[in-house]
Structure 1
Amino acid sequence: MKTQTRKRIGRDISIRSFCAERQQSFGREVRHAAAETYLITRLSFELLRYLGVGYRWITKFLALGCYAMLLMPGFLQVAYYYFFSSQVRRSIVYGDQPRNRLDLYFPIKNDGLKPVVIFITGGAWIIGYKAWGSLLGLQLAEKDFIVACVDYRNFPQGTISDMVKDASQGISFVLNNIAEYGGDLNRVYLMGQSAGAHIAACALVEKAAYASAERENSWSASQIKAYFGISGGYNLCTLVDHFHARGLYRSIFLSIMEGEESLRRFSPEIMVQDHGLNNGVGSLPPIILLHGSEDVSIPSDASKTFADALRKVGVKTELIIYDGKTHTDLFLQDPLRGGTDQLLKDICTCIRRSEGAASTNEEEVMLPRRRLVPEFMIQLARKISPF
């Protein structure tokens, strides 16, 4: 009887302890959500002050809202996975600055060390957020990868040097800690999309340029097995006027990039041509650039000229151009329509090939996925996409 009483008391104590821990955790989540809401509201008003009244960005903002509504059936399904799947660990803190958090996506099978993809999301340097990578995280986790989606400060909370610093710190955190989560340190890949491709490329090329410098808790370009740049822009000097015509006005773009004098410093294409990079260029991993031929947000020539610059300095480079694809086709519309996703197939094939995998693995990545959004809604969204 006494033994049963002790067990019951012990069980009651454990339950109370668990409940108290859950309440504390919930309290932290509420406080964090409140702080984030206040921060976003304040930054939104500050951003509006920069933008002023302009018909280009206002029409694109309205188009973005309609675009999101049309694709909402797919977004809701991905959001459910993001918030409720046991395979996702959200908001792991990697630094002491705001937005220094990352999400981890895990494969279902826990049968050995897994290859790792570090992903930097896009968002025109203004609206980037780690959850934008949840669809790609879901896809790659299904293919047996661990995916780390790294968040970073956006403008006006930070400028380009802050974004690159945050991304670099996030990459360092993953490299220093991913083994604890079952990641294989010999198979770590860096990936970015749109503005995220630019930020990731800046971080990678900067590390190669300063390969000889020893920095505490840092990382080296040689630790990255390959870099994948999706629909990125790598020479800012040639893109300023293009962005201005598209609604990202010259004044605000130069504010993001810390002035016209900094454009060369944050242009990976120019950085690799710099004589100061010659000693470190050998530490750059293979570079795979992927771009749609009908991309009007960042023309495919941005990837073509970057590929040429990399090849001239001896970096192993592969360029894949998708005929007829837009800026959002590769990253959103194609995955949401299901079937065989060509971008995912090419990424997985490049990775398996670099690892010397058998052809059966290449066939595996061709398995079709289920459709998340009806085709007519995808076609409408494609037509009104502001990107």
Structure 2
Amino acid sequence: MRYFILFLLFGSLSAFGQTQKISHFSYGKSPQQILDLYTPNKDLKNLPVVILLHGGAWSMGGLEYTSKHAQDICNQGFIVANVDYRYVTDKISAKDLLDDIDKAVSYVSNLSGKYGYAKNGYHIVGISAGAHLSLLYGFTKKNMKSITALCAPSRLDSPEALEFMKNNGHLDIIEKLSGAKIEAKGTNSALIKISPFNNISNIPTILIHGNADNLVNVSQSQNLYAELKRKGVEAKLIIREGKGHDVGMNTPDTEIQNIKDITDWIVQHNK
């Protein structure tokens, strides 16, 4: 059904000369190890390539969450790989999700010969849980030209993050993500290990966050931005006034501005 809907979307928009191509690929054996590749109908040789990751608390959602955003970015002259990944379980943790992303990136790179775009030097963009993974992957793999993170959980071991997860019944998800039991008191080294805040490397990073976000407090991005600047990493922080966890992506005018900010950042660092 997901692909049928995307097919209808593709067909209707192609008539207006917008989306040029949506190709579906499996980069692994799991049904969730799939990606949609969006390519403009033009010479792709020098176009930026974007790896896009959806949100969903590491435990729900899929490509449908970010299909419109993928198309909107593609319409600006970008190649976009809209990547799905497995959910966390007792046997699947953040390490496995990062492995999924790595396999997807390699798969996109291998497709470059067929489509004629760059083999490496990509950009990664994520929303919510996907933003967390984008930051963690970008900082630890160090193979991205830039990172864009919208409403990112960035310091999972912080007292406010732990309190929120406890109050909202999400501790089990975070425990699965970290692969360890969370202690009420202690350093929670497993959470530190999977927190972007504790894994910063010198990758240009833009953070976009709504100051009315009731799921991931805006302080997560504010504190990460301060740490990036302290460590001399090129960074930018955009606060969306009055916007919640969707960062305004469900409001036409704010969505347009978000897409512009994302694509401007990527163009700036596509060198």
TM-score if structure 1 supplies the norm length?
A: 0.59
Aligned pairs for 1:342-353 within 5 A: 342-353=257-268
Measure, in 1, the Cα distance between the counterparts of 2:114 and 2:79: 12
How many aligned residue pairs are there?
254
Residues 175 and 111 (structure 1 numbering): CA distance in 2 closer, same or farther, change over 3 Å?
A: closer
Measure, in 2, the Cα distance between the counterparts of 1:304 and 1:292: 11
SS at match of 1:183: coil
Amino acid in structure 1 at the alignment position of 2:170: Y
Counterpart in the other structure of 1:253: 174
1:286 correspondence with 2:204? yes
Residues 244 and 352 (structure 1 numbering): CA distance in 2 closer, same or farther, change over 3 Å?
A: same
Amino acid in structure 2 at the alignment position of 1:347: I
1:205 correspondence with 2:133? no
TM-score if structure 2 supplies the norm length?
A: 0.83
Kept in 2: contact 1:165–1:203 (CA 8 A): no
- Which 4+ runs in 1 deviate beyond 4 A? 76-79, 82-86
Is there any run of 5+ residues in structure 1 with no aligned partner, and where? 1-32, 34-75, 208-220, 273-280, 357-387
Measure, in 2, the Cα distance between the counterparts of 1:163 and 1:111: 29
Measure, in 2, the Cα distance between the counterparts of 1:172 and 1:344: 25
1:296 correspondence with 2:214? yes
Residues 243 and 224 (structure 1 numbering): CA distance in 2 closer, same or farther, change over 3 Å?
A: same
- Which piece of structure 1 moves more, 227-236 or 165-174? 165-174
Aligned-pair Cα RMSD in Å: 2.7
Measure, in 1, the Cα distance between the counterparts of 2:263 and 2:58: 27
Measure, in 1, the Cα distance between the counterparts of 2:233 and 2:259: 23
Query: Alpha-carbon deviation of 1:103?
Result: 0.8
Kept in 2: contact 1:114–1:182 (CA 8 A): no
Amino acid in structure 1 at the alignment position of 2:9: Y
Is there any run of 5+ residues in structure 2 with no aligned partner, and where? 15-19, 183-187
Residues 293 and 355 (structure 1 numbering): CA distance in 2 closer, same or farther, change over 3 Å?
A: same
Aligned pairs for 1:329-348 within 5 A: 329-331=247-249, 333-334=250-251, 337=252, 341-348=256-263
Residues 252 and 323 (structure 1 numbering): CA distance in 2 closer, same or farther, change over 3 Å?
A: same
Structure with greater proportional helix content = 1
Instruction: Select 1:172's aligned residue among 99, 106, 115.
Output: 106
Residues 203-248 of structure 1 deviation map (CA, whole Å, 9 limit, x = unaligned) = 22222xxxxxxxxxxxxx2x42211011111110121211332x34
Residues 35-87 of structure 1 deviation map (CA, whole Å, 9 limit, x = unaligned) = xxxxxxxxxxxxxxxxxxxxxxxxxxxxxxxxxxxxxxxxx986731587661
Kept in 2: contact 1:241–1:250 (CA 8 A): no
Amino acid in structure 2 at the alignment position of 1:300: V
- Which piece of structure 1 moves more, 99-108 or 140-149? 99-108
Counterpart in the other structure of 2:192: 264
Identity percentage over the alignment?
A: 28
